[in-house]
Amino acid sequence: MYRAGKQEIDAIARVIRSGKLFRYNKNGDGECQRFERRYARRLGVKHVLQTSSGTTALTAALAGLGIGPGNEVIVPACTYMATAVAVLAAGAIPVIVDVDASITLDPLALERAIGPRTRAVIPVHMWGLPCDMRAIMRVARRHKLLVIEDACQAVGGAYRGKMLGTIGDAGAFSFNFYKNMTCGEGGAVVTNQARAAQRAACMIDCCAFYWKGRKSSVVPFISNGSRASELEGAMMNAQLDRIDGIVRELRRQRQRILDATRDCGLTPIPLHSPGDDCGTHAVYQLPSADQADAFAKAVGGTVVGKTGRHVYTEWDPIFRKQGAHCAALNPFRLPQNRGCRMTYRKTMCPRSLDILNRTVMIALHPDRKAKDVAALIRKILQAAANIL
């Protein structure tokens, strides 16, 4: 969480005083509906559906687009496990593919990995860094793949002037505690496709979809509930007023750090859309993993490959093929998925492991004082002089 205060407290208090915490008690003027309208306008997208988390947003996006058993979905070797989890929750099989030096999905590796069962790809804008969407969209068009952007870590970011999450067929955002906008826990699915939006709405709240949407052309189906509450909607409305200021300050700080460390021998990570990303981190690539370890220790940064949860080697439930709570529903065992590729080895993406273990990110905060940024810059310069 970056910023929250009086506006959020007042917004939540208003909802509690009104006694109307359920999102359907309203005639189009509830907090969730207002957030969905405002966020859609800000993103320039037709449909926004608020959910309970980024994971349920991703699952609703996949199911909304009709992805399920029999389909493979390509995911990058560097992401939170929830990306692959959502693919399994939709009944499909995740195929893990290398990232490149940008620590986002490598478009060449994506194209090489496409097989007869591949139906979709999930580019993940990790740590607010946009993927190479132009190249990824080209590959997707050539091979008729659906594109679901995982923008859970990229709220407020853009790529070549287009908001992240709106470039592919659908996008998913997380509003959990660690994200650029937060209501503690939450998420949203976005899409321009009416049918996908209807199906996603059914995934998010199938009972309400059934009671309210009987005239819909989408036949209601059964799903888990992941409806957002008015408390979350109220907090998101307050957060939406803050996001521009947060991202502006993060980008400004990051630029100041990159400018000041330009000539010290450090290599900043290549950016696909410089100036458009969220600027949540200053990221450098070191020549060796040992140097990356030493640099991270000296500057208070984190080696991307060693966060303990963002590299495919740490996704044990997937390696163990524990794809559901019971065998009959486990996508790894479904007859429809028999032709899908599902052999995972910890050594299968050595290039990603090499890159991620040499990449160090330094987290920024929009409320960091100028003198603290200056101190951080001094630390980075000193560490570079000692280590390179």
Ligand X SMILES: Cc1ncc(COP(=O)(O)O)c(C=O)c1O
Binding interface with ligand X (CB under 6 A): 53-55, 79-80, 82-83, 124, 150, 152-153, 174, 176, 187
User: In degrees to the nearest 10, what's the CA dihedral of 71, 77, 79, 81?
Assistant: 60
State the Cα–Cα distance between residues 376 and 380, nearest whole angstrom: 6
Nearer to ligand X, 118 or 180 (CB): 180
Cβ atoms of 380 and 299 within 8 Å: the answer is: yes
Nearer to ligand X, 118 or 153 (CB): 153
State the Cα–Cα distance between residues 57 and 186, nearest whole angstrom: 9
Nearer to ligand X, 124 or 383 (CB): 124
Report in angstroms how near the CB of residue 83 gets to ligand X at its nearest. 5
Nearer to ligand X, 77 or 376 (CB): 77
Of 167, 223, 199, nearest to 66 (Cα)? Answer: 199
Nearer to ligand X, 155 or 286 (CB): 155
Token pair 């189906």 in the structure block, residue: 221
Q: What is the largest CA-CA distance in the chain?
A: 68
User: What residue is closest to ligand X based on CB?
Assistant: 54
User: Residue 214 CB: number of other CB atoms within 10 A?
Assistant: 8
Report in angstroms how near the CB of residue 283 gets to ligand X at its nearest. 16
Nearer to ligand X, 176 or 330 (CB): 176
Cβ atoms of 346 and 258 within 8 Å: the answer is: no
Report in angstroms how near the CB of residue 127 gets to ligand X at its nearest. 9
**What long-range pairs does 263-266 form, CB within 8 A, spacing at least 24?**
264/380, 264/381, 264/384, 264/385, 264/388, 265/384, 265/388, 266/380, 266/384, 266/388
**CA-CA distances (angstroms) from residue 291 to 12, 314, 328, 360, 388?**
47, 23, 48, 10, 7
Report in angstroms how near the CB of residue 131 gets to ligand X at its nearest. 12
- Residue 332 in tokens: 């790894």
Nearer to ligand X, 183 or 380 (CB): 183
- Burial string for 262-297 (b: 16+ CB within 10 Å, else e) reads eeeebeebebbbeebbbbbbbbbbbeebebbbbbbe
Nearer to ligand X, 220 or 305 (CB): 305
Nearer to ligand X, 50 or 261 (CB): 50
Nearer to ligand X, 82 or 228 (CB): 82
- Residue 259 in tokens: 């400018």
State the Cα–Cα distance between residues 382 and 78, nearest whole angstrom: 29
Report in angstroms how near the CB of residue 156 gets to ligand X at its nearest. 15
State the Cα–Cα distance between residues 57 and 227, nearest whole angstrom: 10
- Show Cβ contacts of residue 326 under 8 Å, excluding neighbours closer than 6 positions: none
Report in angstroms how near the CB of residue 61 gets to ligand X at its nearest. 11
Report in angstroms how near the CB of residue 323 gets to ligand X at its nearest. 17
Strand order in the sheet with 93-97: 47-51, 187-191, 170-174, 146-150, 118-121, 72-76, 93-97
Report in angstroms how near the CB of residue 212 gets to ligand X at its nearest. 25
Report in angstroms how near the CB of residue 387 gets to ligand X at its nearest. 29
Report in angstroms how near the CB of residue 187 gets to ligand X at its nearest. 5
